[in-house]
Each structure stands twice: as structure tokens, then as C-alpha cells.
A and B are shown apart, each in its own frame.
Chain A
């Protein structure tokens, strides 16, 4: 049973509070006291979090009544559009909180709130503090629209909104050209992904006939995405689901920084540290994972797309981790760590462990936000700007005890130390990969499972290693910037950060250590006890997220957790040996120099993209710019303006100011007008009413008219002021026969000249040859007295002379798509007289649309002219 609570206005308010905060701080912030800016900025998010908790509790309560309970707020119908199929699809601004979006809302508002709190301390002294708070609030609102939107378009509004805020906040210190460039890079790279989301969205709505996630998912479960995609790609026919999922995943690689579009995220660290923590670690970059989970019933129907996602995620995890191992700067290491962890999440999605992937989103939000904020705390302490080189730090555990402890807790969590949150989530991911290996009789799944399991294990080893390398180099040993003699840019006397910064650190660190218990595994390794009652997470997520079944065989469970534990142990031990209390990069000394340099240069991926994609596009842009300047601007803009200007220069000479010239022009004009009026002007128009012909002419001022309707030299009417007359023509008035060919479809009509010699009938002049059948062509025509004769030219010899067809005057005959008609011709004459007494004659040949009764030879009666008026 589906339980829907009444309209949940709270869902709207959750979004409106940060949005209002953004508007107030954005428009008025610069005129407000700093305390008020803080109150609006942080207070709105805190309120939003409180409402999110209230909604979540209500949702939790409803779950006891129904497994699929959701909270819904229908705001209004945004627009509707008509599909090619004829269905009208309404796009509603509608917000839904189910188990998935509920958890995500809590993460966004909760972690977001803590980071807002932290920003008071970190950004409080910056000139752009109100602007910062406004952007941060706008981000919260966009992210909440993304999460709570019930349909693809609404989600896409949020999707673009967070992209915009990301751009604004990366380039927050836009005076620095590099930072502004980093923001631009993030935006442009994300546009490529957004294109994929749009295409995916169109495929989804085309098949499912709805933009709502719920409808798309039920269509996917009903198998509507199973049929082949109508366009064949590379000789194979992928299913609709595969194509849609691949395009959507392209969007996810942009937003969530996966191969091939991950390159923007490390550069995004140019933004202030709270931004890195909130947008580029905890929330926005997980939007791709969220989208995959949201549409998990769709994704799971395409093995091909899932394999692509799993392999891409694993490769990203490995690549990013390998870069992070050799970097020297805190935020850069954390940035690559984020890319790597996002790779873990996508690998989980790809092996069908959606709940595990999203669990990692959840735990990662805590420890990665804590790590970034810890890095920010360190940078704040040593007055580092932009980023901090860990080889110039060290020994900070004495100066920064709270930061150090929280940082350590988060390092343990991300490394997967037993019973921390990362331990549980990473375990679940590896378990999902291992389960894939043992799916029976599926080569693709088995090989993807092996690849993912081994790849992720290696990445986990590197994760534990680089995190503890970072920890040991920063917090153990001696402080290397203590004596200011050498090249040490940092403050000699670091100090612990204010409470506004340390409180969020502590809360996040506690979360990083404990939230894992929400997702206790179904089967505990080694012991083997079934604890499925305790897997709160899996049970909670079941309602809205599909997935492969979680395996319960002991050997799979033991394999996965053994690998996870081993990876953690190896990584931490290696870091302990190489870096604890050390000040030099021992790994770099042991590695081959060129390999180290290559890894330090991030495998030169940016350079590869520059050479293969960016520079060719730039060159095209240069060429296009030249074309614009030389063709559009010159030929199409400057040339016409030149023409107009020169023509004006010449014509301006006429306005020479001499009054005689003007007067002469007036006189010439007056004479011309007089000359035109000197003789009358007229033309004849004929209209047919039965057998009567109405002859008219446009009326002129002071004109008089008389008609000789049959042009026999005798005027039927006297001079009179009204122009029209009516006449009934008789057989004697006829002057000949006019033959017309008409295309009955288009209405095109041609008069043709026919004599009394045989000539081909030019039917092709009104009907294109391809519409003619052989029956309609090859006719010859001639006039025989008052008849039109037709014959088939080549039929003459085969058949006797009876093949001639006679068409009487005034009748018409059909020839396929054409109609041929024969009409009697008469001539009307009009004489016009104007006020000057001048006359003029007009004559007109009229083809009557009806025939006359031909007088028989026996009959001597002739129809007399009928004089009207």
C-alpha cells in the first residue's frame, strides 16, 4: 500500500530558507552588519536542517505503516509539453522525500550547516563575506532542489544551479586569474556532462512518457527500456536502457568528477576551503551517485552500462589515488582523494551495490568534509594562502590538538580502520564487487567483478597510504617552518583555530567514527552471525533503491573484508615506516625519477586534453573569429553601411538649399501628375454568374463609361457614370477557342495555344512527369471547328481512327491529375471618358467557363444579343 501524507509544506520551506538567505545576503548583505549576515546565512541553513530532521522523523514514522511511504509537496505545474506520440506531459514543480532523498537532505543540510558555521571563522575577515554567504546559501537551495525534485527537469534545475554556484565559488577570489580560470574550467567541463544528462532525459521521457522519477523507474521495472535503441551504433544494437544510462553517466562523470571529465575537480580547490569541503567533497560531487541511485531500477536493466560505470569508477579510483600518493599540497591530495573515493562509489553503483555506494556517499560526507575543514584549519593556523605544502609543515599536533585529533579520526575512517564509518562502507563496496564475480554463467559480470575487486583493493591500499602520509607529514615530527631563515612561507607560531571552526571539526569527526554503525553488514565476517536485523541502512534504502542481492556466502564475505582490512593495514604500515616523524619524501627517493615526475604531473592528462581537444577547438575558434571579422563584420556589416553612406552622400547633393531647384522639382511633379490624369486609365474585369457575365472596371473620379461587350462595334450602353454592366454572350460573339490545362491538386492553370494542326498536348507543363502514368501522356490535340480533338499519338497505327476523342466547347475532360478544358473566347470593349473630354478604349479577351449550344445546320435561328441596360 502506498501511503501519502498530506501536502508537506515543510519540504518547500527546507528549500526556501536558504534561498531567502541567498537573496537577502546577496542584495543587502553589503549594507548589513557582519553579525546579521552571519545570522541570515547560518540561521537559514540551521532552520532548514531542523525542518529536514522534522520531515525525516515523520517519514521514519510513516515507514512503519508502509514500506514505500513518501512525503510529497506539489507546488505548481511548471509547464507541459506535447510528445511526438501525442501525449501531453506535465512538468510539475513537486518535491518528494523518500528514504533516499531523505538521507541526502540530512547530509546536505547537516554537513552544510556545519560548514556554514565553520565559514564564520574561516571567511569572517574576508571582504566578500556577505557574497560568500549568499553563494553558499544559493548552493544549498540548488542542491536541495536537486535532491528533493521529483522529476528530471526539476532535478536538472538544481543540477545546473549547483554547477553555477560551484563556478561562482571556485572563482570567488576572481582577482586571481588562475582561480577565475579554474572556475571557468569547472563550468565548461560540466557543460559537456550536462549535454549527456539532457540527452538521457529526452530518451527517458520518450520511452516512459513522463519526467517523474517514480514513473521512469516503474517503466524500467516493467521492461519498457529493454527494446533496442532505434539507431544502431557501431554495428551493434544497444538497448534503450544502455543508451539512456550511458548518456546519464556522461553527466555523472562531469558532475562527479570521473574519467574522462574529472580534470576540473583538482583545479576547483582554488576556491575557499569551506567550498572545497561542502561542494567539492561532501555534496555536489555526489550528485552523480545520487542520480544513479535515484534511477537504479533503470540502470540495473542494462548490464553493458553498469559494466561501463564499474570499470570507469575503478579506473578513476586507481588513477586519482596514484596521483594523490605523490602530491605535496594538502588540498590537492584531498582533491584527488575525493576523485578516488567518488570512483569507489561509482564502482559500487556499477556492480549493482547501489545502497553500498550511497552508504559511502553518506560516510564520505563526514570524513572528507572533516579532512577538508581540518586542512583549512591548518592553513588558517599557519597563514597559508591557497594551499599548504606538507613538506613545510610538520609537528602540528602540539599546536593544533583538536584539529590533529579530528584529522586523525577522519584519516582512520577514510583508510577503512575497523569499526570506523569508512570501514563499513568500503567493505560493502568490495562485497558488492566480490558478489559480482560469483554471479553464475555471466562472463561479462565475472570479469567486471574481478577487475573491480582487484582495482578497488589496490586503490584502498593507496588511499590508506596517502592519507597517512599526509597525516604524518603534517602532524608528526618537527615544525619545519619554525625557523624563518630558509624558504618557509608559513607563520612560525601556528595557533589553534577559533571554536566556530573546531566545533564543526569535532562533530564531523565523531560522525566519521560512528555513522558506520548505521550500516552494519548483514553477515559479519569470520563469525558468520546473521545480523540482518541490524542492517538499518540496507533495510532503509530498499524502498527507493534497487540493487543486486547482497551475498550471504561466508567465503565471499571473508574475501571482501579480508581484502579491505589487508589494504588498510598495508597502506597505514607503509606510511608509518616511510613518513612517521620524517621530513623528506622517502617514496619519491625510492621511485624512479621519471615515474615520480609523471605521477606528480598528474600523468599529464591536462596536457593530453590540451593537445587533443582544447587546442584544436581554440584553433577553430581563432579561424571562426577571423571569419567573423573578415566576412560577417566586413562583408555583411561594413559593406552595406558603406553603400548606404555613399548613396546618401550622392543623394544629399540634391538638397542644395537653392529654392529654385526645389520649386522646379515641384513643378515637374505637378506636370507629371497632370499628364497622367489627362487621359483616362482603365482595365476590364469579368465575373461569371451562370451564363451571365458581369463586366466591371475600377471607378475613376469624373469618368464616364460605355460598353461594347461583344466588340461588334455597336455600344450596348450609353455614356454613364457607373462602371459596370452585365451581358449574356451568344454563339455569334465567339471569336475562337481557348484551351486550358489545370493541375487539379495544386490549382495551377496554363492556357495553351492549340491550332487546327495536330500537336502534342503539353501536360508536363502543369504536372511533373513523375506523377503521370503512361495512360495520361502521349496525347495529341487539335481544334476542329468547335470541337477539341484528342488522340493517342502512338496508338494511331495499332487501332483504328475511332481512337479520337471529341471534346465539345465549354466542356472539360480529365487526364490523370490534370484537367483539360475548352472554352469559348469572346472580347469585351470599354470606352472611358474623363473630365477633360479625352477618351480611351480598353479591350479584353474573356474565356468563358461555359459553352454555347452550337446551332445545328438545320436551324437558322441564331441567338440574338441581349442588351442589358
Chain B
């Protein structure tokens, strides 16, 4: 398999994530979409590492991304639960407190 296949997979994953983030109004779904986009980047990193295996930068970076994604998910879910307790909704259309 050439690198093009991996690139195509990553692009599709990223596109699905971005579309999901923009189209859905549920915060939980949006968080999941963000995870999809992050993982598409991970696929890219691993694919490039395979093409250029002289060092392991790609794999190391993929681990970093996984760690950051875990932290982000923990924080995001915590905020989400706290927000839900206050407003009893997870619809982003109603979450406009931080506007002008």
C-alpha cells in the first residue's frame, strides 16, 4: 500500500470529523468528532513514519496526540457534565453565554 491510501483515509476521517463538528448540535457528538479529527492526524503521523522510518518522530508524536486527546476528553466531559447540571441541555445553539 502506498502512502496515498493512508493520506486518503486520513482525509476522509478528518472530513467526517469536521463535518460532524459543524453539523451536529449535541456537544457530546461534537467532542467525538474532535476525537475523529485528532485520530486522522495520528494516522497521518504513523503513515509518514512508515515512509521515513529512520527515526520514530511520527510514532512519538502520535503518542503525544493520544495523551493530549485523553486529557482534552477528560476536561471536555467534565465541563460538559457541569454545563448539563446547570442548563439541563447539551444543545450548542443554546450555549451562547460567551458572546459579545
Contacts and interface: CB of A to CB of B under 8 A. Distances in A.
Given A667-B18, A667-B22, A660 B92 contact: yes
Contacts of A653: 100
Interface string B57-94: 00000000000000000000000000000000000110
Contacts of B40: none
A658 interface: yes
A657 B96 contact: yes
A662 to B, nearest CB: 10
A657 B98 contact: yes
B63 to A, nearest CB: 25
Contact of B96 (A652, A658, A664, A667): A658
Contacts of A660: 22, 25, 92
A657 B99 contact: yes
B93 to A, nearest CB: 7
Contacts of A549: none
B13 to A, nearest CB: 15
B93 A658 contact: yes
A644 to B, nearest CB: 15
A655 interface: yes
B97 interface: yes
Max chain B CB contacts within 10 Å: which of A653, A658, A664?
A658
A663 B21 contact: yes
Contacts of A667: 18, 22
A352 to B, nearest CB: 82
B100 A658 contact: no
A660 to B, nearest CB: 6
Contacts of B99: 655-658
B8 interface: no
B95 interface: yes
Contacts of B22: 660, 663-664, 667
A613 interface: no
Nearest to B25: A660
Contacts of A658: 92-93, 96, 99
Nearest to A653: B100
B30 interface: yes
Interface in A98-116: none
Given A664-B22, A667-B18, A659 B92 contact: yes
Nearest to B92: A659
A498 B81 CA distance: 91
Contact of A657 (B21, B30, B97): B97
Contacts of A652: 100
Dominant SS among interface residues on chain A: helix
A656 to B, nearest CB: 5
Interface residues of B, number: 13
Interface string A635-672: 00000000000000000110111111001100100000
A62 to B, nearest CB: 84
A606 B96 CA distance: 72
Interface residues of A, number: 11
Nearest to A660: B22
B100 A656 contact: yes
A667 B23 CA distance: 13
Contacts of B97: 657
B100 A659 contact: no
A659 B30 contact: yes
Contacts of A664: 22
A769 B13 CA distance: 70
A655 B97 CA distance: 11
Nearest to A667: B18
Interface string B10-44: 00000000100110010000100000000000000
A663 B18 CA distance: 9
A657 B100 CA distance: 7
Contacts of A657: 95-100
Contacts of B21: 663
Contacts of B30: 659
A555 to B, nearest CB: 99
B28 to A, nearest CB: 13
A657 B97 CA distance: 6
Contacts of B18: 663, 667
A655 B92 contact: no
Contacts of B93: 658
A576 to B, nearest CB: 92
Contacts of B25: 660
B90 to A, nearest CB: 12
A667 B93 CA distance: 19
Max chain B CB contacts within 10 Å: which of A653, A659, A667?
A659
Contacts of B100: 652-653, 655-657
A660 B30 CA distance: 10
Interface in A537-583: none
A87 to B, nearest CB: 65
A864 to B, nearest CB: 43
A655 B30 CA distance: 20
Nearest to B18: A667
Interface in A775-804: none
Nearest to B14: A670
Nearest to B97: A657
A345 to B, nearest CB: 75
A441 to B, nearest CB: 92
A851 to B, nearest CB: 51
A670 to B, nearest CB: 9
A653 B98 CA distance: 12
Interface string A435-474: 0000000000000000000000000000000000000000
A665 B21 CA distance: 12
A677 to B, nearest CB: 15
B40 to A, nearest CB: 13
Nearest to A658: B96
Contacts of B92: 658-660
Max chain B CB contacts within 10 Å: which of A655, A656, A660?
A660
A660 B21 CA distance: 8
A104 to B, nearest CB: 73
A653 B97 CA distance: 13
Max chain A CB contacts within 10 Å: which of B95, B98, B100?
B100
A659 B99 CA distance: 10
Nearest to A656: B99
Nearest to A651: B100
A436 B21 CA distance: 107
Nearest to B33: A663
A423 B74 CA distance: 107
A560 B88 CA distance: 113
Contacts of B96: 656-658
B71 to A, nearest CB: 20
B99 to A, nearest CB: 3
A653 B96 CA distance: 12
A657 B96 CA distance: 4
Nearest to A655: B100
Given A657-B98, A657-B99, A663-B21, 14 more contacts: A653-B100, A656-B99, A656-B100, A657-B95, A657-B97, A658-B93, A658-B96, A658-B99, A660-B25, A663-B18, A663-B22, A664-B22, A667-B18, A667-B22
* Closest 10 pairs between A and B when the two form their complex, measured CB to CB: A657-B99, A657-B96, A652-B100, A655-B100, A659-B92, A656-B99, A657-B98, A663-B22, A663-B21, A658-B96
15 contacts: A652-B100, A656-B96, A656-B100, A657-B97, A657-B98, A657-B99, A658-B99, A660-B22, A660-B25, A660-B92, A663-B18, A663-B22, A664-B22, A667-B18, A667-B22
